[in-house]
Amino acid sequence: MPVEISAAVTELGGRAVVQSIFRDITDRTRADRALRESEERYRGLFEDANDLVYTHDLAGNFTSINKAAERITGYTATEAARVNLSQVVAPEHLELAREMVSRKVVSGGPTVYELDVITRDGNRVPLEVSTRLMLRDGKPVGVQGIARDIRERRRIEAERAELLAREQAARAEAELANRAKDEFLATLSHELRTPLSAILIWARLLRSGRLEPDARTRALEVIERNTKLQARLIEDLLEVSRIIAGKLRLELTPVDLAATVEGAIDAVRAAADAKEITLECELDHGIGPVRGDRNRLQQIVWNLVANAIKFTPSGGRVAVRLERDAHGAVISVRDTGIGIPDDFLPHIFERFRQADSTSTRAHGGLGLGLAIVRHLVERHGGTVTAASPGEGQGATFTVWLPVPAKDVEAGDAAWLSGLARRPGPSPLSLHGLHVLLVEDESDMRESVTVSLELCGARVTAVGAAPAALEILDRDPPDIVLCDIGMPGEDGYALVRKIRSRGAERGGQIPAVALTAYARDEDRSRALDAGFQIHVAKPVEPTEIARVVADLCGSTARVGRVAAARGR
């Protein structure tokens, strides 16, 4: 039993004696041991904790820090004793730290907040801090704090915020794309239905037989114009589909750019005349040939000039200029039209984008033409830009195309020279030719038959492959025009059967795929099956006759078969 002994000398009966008092101190010893053990445990926790543990007085002077605090701040415990709170807390958070100390003195209780500290080597570390007031005799004497390094948490939060921002941006972009898709589908429906309505109404009026001759002529003009508009819309859709799929092909040859621009202008001159728009043209014929796809280059110019006419009021002016700069050819199309709003100018070449997509818009179209122009120009190694002073002040589109630094090869030059000397096409005559037409659609079969017969051809028209094979045996034709999509046996199967026959049975007869399957892969598949030429519907009567004449060799070819192949 632990005891505490106190002794004193006193006199008793004339003698000096020692008086001792023994006090049981078991409880006090137990309490002291418990206190020491508690202090040792606290010291162990203090030193070994992963979090920063520290104390400072009410003035902010540090009185102790643990090893974690030493590791993170770079200060040793000895150095920290000479450091004030204001020296380690980030300047923008110092007022917060002081406010928390003041609040602690007033209210007591724990407080949790976040701040950044500046380490000894100048780095910034974010901490989550929890503090408690230290009391002595009931009075506050300092603050005890535990702080956790939250750099990893901040990194995760930043990543989460970035992911959220990206997700929100993607959602906004998807919603924008969805709205654009809805607007495009609404526009597509309008643009397809409007010409169809005109065609249907005039067709029924013609069928009624009650129209005067002038009205019948007008009806046919409207039907033809709206049919061409439908074909243009469908071709734009297919073109964009090919662009998106990366399957748009170019047939590269030496091209006389001035002649190509003239051809595009001639194609739209009637539209300009109808609106009394002055169409000016200034071409440098000295520009050497470019290497490109003639049809695609003409399509570029046609789109730009047609667009200019479309957006220029009656009585306006459209100027087309072709010139050469130091490195290439420059085609500019300038108009006095409605101009382009500043906020829309950066989006002018984007697919399905229109400055006005409302139901009250004044100009039709799908918003695809300029996107196609940009893609075709870039495929030729060039650039296209748009500029406009503002709404109502017109616009200028500029195309730059590379021109080879050296002269074209002699063969190419001769080719161009010969092309320039060739006379224009004379009316086609197909007299003496027997054409076998295989087409399951009766209206198409009849229209092609009539157009070829008007050129003098003898046409045998059938609606299916078996009937075509019978004609080959009974009345061999000079050429076969064949649809692809037919019930029972398609055009691919038919031409393969024809090619499997011997030459004496028509196995080498020229064959043309005349089809609404107009993708590049459809063209390749047709040629692989055995067709010489792939012609995409819709097609002009003169083009059908020209293809027949070229393939049968009854007229000069002038590269027309190649042109038909590129359709």
From CA 258, how far away is CA 270, in angstroms rounded?
20
Percent residues over pLDDT 70 in the chain: 83
Q: Is residue 382 part of a domain?
A: yes
Please give the tally of structural domains in the chain.
Answer: 5
In this structure, are 39 and 65 located in the same domain?
no
Whether 427 maps to a domain, the answer reads no
| CATH number of the domain where residue 73 is located | 3.30.450.20
Instruction: State the pLDDT at residue 409.
Output: 41
Range of the domain at 208: 155-245
Establish if 426 belongs to a structural domain: no
Are residue 301 and residue 397 in the same domain, yes or no? Answer: yes
140, 113 contact by CB (below 8 A)? no
More confident residue, 451 or 237: 451
- CATH number of residue 229's parent domain: 1.10.287.130
Least confident interval from 161-175, 270-284, 460-474, 529-543: 529-543
Domain end marker among 149, 164, 187: 149
Amino acid at 337: G
Instruction: Tell whether 444 and 386 lie within a shared domain.
Output: no
Q: Which of 244-248, 327-331, 418-422, 494-498 shows the highest mean pLDDT? A: 494-498
Give the best-scoring range by mean pLDDT among 116-120, 236-240, 294-298, 443-447.
116-120
User: Based on the domain organization, do 482 and 356 belong to the same domain?
Assistant: no
Q: Which amino acid is at 399?
A: V
Span 15-49, pLDDT tens digits = 888 777 888 888 877 877 777 666 666 665 566 67
250 is a domain residue: no
| Statement to judge: residues 501 and 353 lie in one domain | no
Average pLDDT, the chain: 81
pLDDT in tens, 111-154: 788 999 999 999 999 999 988 888 888 888 888 889 999 999 99
Tens of pLDDT, residue by residue over 268-301, are 888 888 889 999 999 998 887 888 888 889 889 9
Give the ranges where 422-559 is alpha helix by DSSP (H): 442-454, 465-474, 491-500, 520-529, 541-552
pTM of the model: 0.46
**Mean pLDDT to the nearest integer, 339-355:** 77
Residues 31, 74 within the same domain:
no
Question: Is 36 in the same domain as 78?
Answer: no
Q: What CATH number does residue 350 fall under? A: 3.30.565.10
Last-in-domain residue among 119, 149, 179 = 149
Does residue 187 sit in the same domain as residue 70? Answer: no
317-324 β-sheet, strand order: 278-283, 317-324, 328-335, 395-402, 383-387
- Among 95, 122, 149, residue at a domain's last position: 149
Q: Is residue 351 one of the residues assigned to a domain?
A: yes
